Amino acid sequence: MDAAVSSGKLAGLSVSVLHGPRQMDFVRGVADLQSGLPVGPDTVFQIGSVTKAMTATLIMQAAHLGLLDLDGPAARYLGVPLGHDPRAAGITVGQLLSHSSGLDGDMFEDVGADDACLEKFARLAERLDLMSPPGQHYNYCNAGYALLGRIVETVFGDLYDNVLKTRLFEPMQAVVSASLAEDIITRTLASGHEPDADGKLAVMPPVAFPRALGPAGLTVWSNAADLVRFAALHMKLKAHDFFPAEMVDAMQKPQITLPDGTHWAHGWKLIPGGDVMFVGHDGGTIGHTAFLWFAPSHGIAVALCANGDGKAAFQEIAWPIFEEVCGAAPILSLPPFTMPARPIEAYAGAYTNAGVTMTVAVNGTALATSAHAHHFDQPDSHFPMRAIGGDLFRATIGDDDSVVTAFFDADAAGRPDLFYAGRLYRRVKD
């Protein structure tokens, strides 16, 4: 943890390890580089998309109670049309959970912060484009999880934030977790940090994220200690009527396979490590990252929250712990670089979805890629991609070359669409 703070990638962090009945919590660094306020046991961080596993839990609770059918059309519970493509009418609740709906999911429309925000967001659902037929491909879908938050409201008859508190925060005995502004302002908040123009870690100005995207990961603040308490219920280390064993097991069954060979379940990502199945979710907002991974078969969970880029720190801390306890870690075995299936020029072009436009150009035997985000005024990113066989490539983001990219569904001229970082991109220009 000391090395993580001195790396210049983050300002502070919260780390917790749960092994059987024993929980160990640690903090390092500062909550804000400008004030120098140290991270304490009650400091909270934005956990980003780790929230999706919480939203999925509420949906699975509703299914267990018979309040909804996972195989039923999501529009039935939303009360509004879903997507403008006629095929979207068949999108199921389960497909929203497993990111296999095919919906173009990075719609971050701010419809206000009042209690009706999820209802108003759902009315915009008919705008959503369909990137692939429902159930055919994995496509990470933030809008889909906002819609699941609205379904939580319709089936439980209460606001999402209230249901989250009574059916999740309270059963997991959360100490600091909160999603409502009136609760968050009573906490000690970690400021977000990212590199400035000179590459030096700096405090980010506060960002007012849309409340309607809360169920997808934009409003919950927590720390590592609370996250492993959440994991304890999903490893059946603690019993609660809201977390029956059959529901927990159902959430961890593979639903769709990703190009890198991992799987997505109902709210969790699954990565095999030898004979051990690791279950977890990562999260990130502007200036914050969070990670929660666990091995139910061995009763071990590790969580990290950081105000900065905590990915390397999490792997350096968690992987040795998993290796010691489980004899394995959730590390992908990726094929070596080789030649692609098609002439390299076939992959060049512009690809887009609701969130990002990707421009791919040929650079020798590799591809030079630029990504331009459509939301939150983020800088463009640039990175290479090199072939690993077939239509698969590995993108190198900083010092991480494990991001598997796939080109798929080529047209008659051999020009494919793109899958990158969990999202589908439609080819719009050669």
- pLDDT value of residue 278: 98
pLDDT number for residue 141:
96
- Residue-by-residue pLDDT tens, the chain, 430 positions: 999 999 999 999 999 999 999 999 999 999 999 999 999 999 999 999 999 999 999 999 999 999 999 999 999 999 999 998 999 999 999 999 999 999 998 899 999 999 999 999 999 999 999 999 999 999 999 999 999 999 999 999 999 999 999 999 999 999 999 999 999 999 999 999 999 989 999 999 988 899 999 999 999 999 999 999 999 999 999 999 999 999 999 999 999 999 999 999 999 999 999 899 999 999 999 999 999 999 999 999 999 999 999 999 999 999 999 999 999 999 988 889 999 999 999 999 999 998 999 999 999 999 999 999 988 778 899 999 999 999 999 999 888 888 999 999 988 888 899 999 899 999 998 8
Q: Measure CA of the first residue to CA of the last residue in the chain; give whole Å.
A: 46
So where are the chain's domains? Answer: 1-333, 344-429
pLDDT in tens, 180-218: 999 999 999 999 999 998 999 999 998 889 999 999 999
Q: pLDDT value at position 379?
A: 85
pTM of the model: 0.95
Amino acid at position 166, single letter = T
Q: How far apart, in Å, are the Cα atoms of 53 and each of 80, 234, 266, 374?
A: 24, 10, 8, 25
Cβ neighbours around 343 below 10 Å, total: 11
The dihedral sign for the CA sequence 54, 55, 59, 65: positive
Q: How far apart are CA 179 and CA 252, in angstroms?
A: 25
pLDDT for the residue 411: 87
What is the number of other CB atoms lying within 10 angstroms of the CB of residue 363? Answer: 14
Three-class secondary structure of residue 294 per DSSP: strand
The 3-state DSSP class for residue 290 equals: strand
DSSP characters over 61-126: HHHHTTS--TTSBHHHHHSS---SSGGGGG-BHHHHHTT-S-B---------SSTTHHHHHHHTGG
Q: Which of 167, 138, 172 is nearest to 152 (CA)?
A: 167
Q: Determine the pLDDT at residue 376.
A: 76
Our CA dihedral for 406, 408, 410, 416, rounded to 10 degrees, sits at -40
Residue 401: what pLDDT?
Answer: 86
What confidence score (pLDDT) does residue 413 get?
Answer: 85
> Would you tell me which CATH number, out of the four given (3.30.300.20, 3.40.50.1370, 2.40.128.50, 2.60.40.1220), belongs to the domain 344-429?
2.40.128.50
CATH T-level fold of 1-333: Beta-lactamase (3.40.710)
Q: How far apart are CA 154 and CA 67, in angstroms?
A: 10
Helix (H, G, I), strand (E, B) or coil at 148: helix
